[in-house]
Structure 1
Amino acid sequence: MAVKVSVVVPVFNGGEHLDECAESVLAQTMPRGDYEVVFVDDGSTDETPPLLDALAGREQAARVVHHPRSGGPGGPRNAGVEQAQGEYVYFLDQDDRLAPRALERMYDMATRCGSDIVVGKVVGHGRGVARNTFAASRDRADILTDHLLGFLTPHKLFRRSFLLRHDLRLPEGPAWLEDHRFVVEA
């Protein structure tokens, strides 16, 4: 069976947030064989590498890529896309969580609409998220009318072949607003 969604999680010294992130992804309603989680350890100097290895050892849906320290999330995200086996890629940060039906709902919309990019609902905890951006589901959103330029983080579902075909990569190393540059280009 083909993997539908690869969740790419760049990790550096994951600490207290990593368990909640991993639990939320591994508790998805999408069947386990339909998605995978690619944790990309970005040269962590704490207990993160062995914790991720143990997680991958007990969870078939989880894989770990050990990446040399890059100084920013762009390199690990790019490495995750390269290692991903899914038709779609979703970027998640180590301190983020997914609602239980998130992957299932985004993938269903992507396949129903033939989308290259799906913007799932985001609830900002301590971050401002424009209410009108997520007021209703839309099969086709307009970048201006629906205020998508106000939401430039990479927390979206991207068709992997779209990223590869257009050679869309995040700037690597310490880069200011690397995710915004990538999303605008996409």
Structure 2
Amino acid sequence: MLPEFESYLKKNADFPEEVIKAMYNLAIVKTLKRNESLLQAGDVCRYKVFIAKGLLRCYVTGGNGNEHILQFCPENSWTLDVESYDNQIPSTTNIAAIEPSVVLLWTKSDFEKLRIDFPVLKQFSEILISRSIYQNRHRVATTLSATPEEKYEDFVTRYPNLLSRLPLHMIAAYMGISLKTLTRIRHSQLNR
């Protein structure tokens, strides 16, 4: 049993031991190297993913080859391509490790069985989905209406622990601004 997974479940929903053991027994533990892909666009997303250690990113690649980062997934978070997973269709999203990572994977059928067998997991899943919707709505509103400086301030406020773990070009790709603009913003803040 990965202690990170057990402590996460106990801390966030007070899961009983039997639920934790059942979840862990159906999980596939996978170690990812830096830059290793977990999901590539065009493949079907077959797993619900919990990040026990490390840091992943979900991204799409634009027609010009530029990476547009949709989400950073640090330890103690979940990720997947929801549309691909739910409908078992090819993904438009890539998921890859930014740093060496350990993840737990559940197939759709295994996770659905767990949700049916353990109402506490079903309830917790619904809470996570709601949080994700709120975060995505905030992200869209910020992306559409905030200035680059406001986007950076929002990022720093929401993800202070990620700043030292991410290269600047990834932060810029997440915020939808150029690296040059991000460098200018950071420089002007240092000179205040």
Fold agreement, TM-score > 0.5 = no
- Which structure has more helix as a fraction of its residues? 2
Q: Give the TM bin, normalised by the shorter chain.
A: under 0.3
Q: Indicate the structure (1 or 2) with the bigger Cα radius of gyration.
A: 2
- Greater RCO structure (CA 8 Å; 6+ sep): 1
> TM-score normalized by structure 1?
0.27
